[in-house]
Amino acid sequence: MKTRRFTKWLSTLCVCSILFGCASANPDSEKQDTQWPKKIVLVQMPNENNPAADSQHEKFGQALSEYLGIEVEAMEASEYTAAIEGMAGGNIDVMLVSPMSYFQAKERAGAELLVSTPMSAEYVSAFIVRSDRDDITGMEDLRGKTFAFVDQASSSGYLYPKAALVKQLNLDPDQLESSDYFFKTVAFSGSHTTSVSGVQMGDYDAACVAKSIIAQMAEAGAVNAEDFKIIGSSDIIPNPAYVARGSLPEDLKAKIKAFFLSYKDADYFEAVHGNRDIRFVEVTEDDYQPAKEMLDLLHIEFGD
């Protein structure tokens, strides 16, 4: 088992050969209905808050390989969209997806839910401003202000806070990013930490970030938590889930799921999920229905 990291600046040739199968990554693909492949590909997402999670992912992949009795190639993908296309092409077998990305993976690759983890803390987006901004005390006060989302693929940095704005203020989701519609201007900062720093420095009047990020940055000495105040929040965001490519053999999918549910390495859960005591749990479509309703509210559809 070996580990590779995808980044956005990989060459077109590399992305083509790995994700879209210009050279077949699975010689047994035509026999998957009757026998297991010789190798499966497992894709994780980088953990920006804990680089130590990388080694835990490698250990996890090795344990899965030993449990299944076949090779497991573990990778990290820099973005969900590329990994979903890799699964749609038959070259990625198991991957971690955000609530939004699950429905995209289901549409594009027939992805099936395997497991998730319980929340160790409430996962919501927070609307933040500097604590000295007496002119901004609630969501309506954001009208005419400069605002930063994180990234259009981010659940906590874009989708859920955008849905909160649309629902709470009766705004048009198709116009929300337009200058002078509600906000004076809208920016996409690229990361939660950049959004926090931008609010602190006055680059943005306000921003939406994962609620936990300010505490994490304060603990690291990057900001003073007292410099910020929260003026609103999103609905609770479901945790990411692992999914399997639907065309894998049924008994292989069942055994992969059984491995997740039996995995008890406390060091792994502490490094990757922030809690030594949690374990993987089964999830169903109903657990992610609120995310689907949010996508419908924002007029987001997936397809070719």
Q: Which residues pair with 113 in a beta bridge?
A: 243
Structure tokens at 152: 């259009």
- Taking only the tens of pLDDT, the chain with its 304 residues reads 444 343 332 333 333 433 444 433 443 434 334 589 999 999 987 655 455 677 888 899 999 999 999 999 998 877 778 889 999 999 999 999 888 889 889 999 999 999 999 875 678 999 999 999 999 999 999 999 999 999 887 888 999 999 999 999 999 999 999 999 999 999 999 999 999 999 999 999 999 999 989 988 998 899 999 999 999 999 998 888 999 999 999 999 999 999 999 999 999 998 888 789 999 999 999 998 888 889 899 998 765 5
* Predicted local confidence at residue 257, as pLDDT: 98
C-alpha span between 20 and 183 (Å, rounded): 39
Closest CA to 45 of 72, 19, 93, 78: 78
pTM over 0.85: no
105 CB neighbour count, 10 Å cutoff: 30
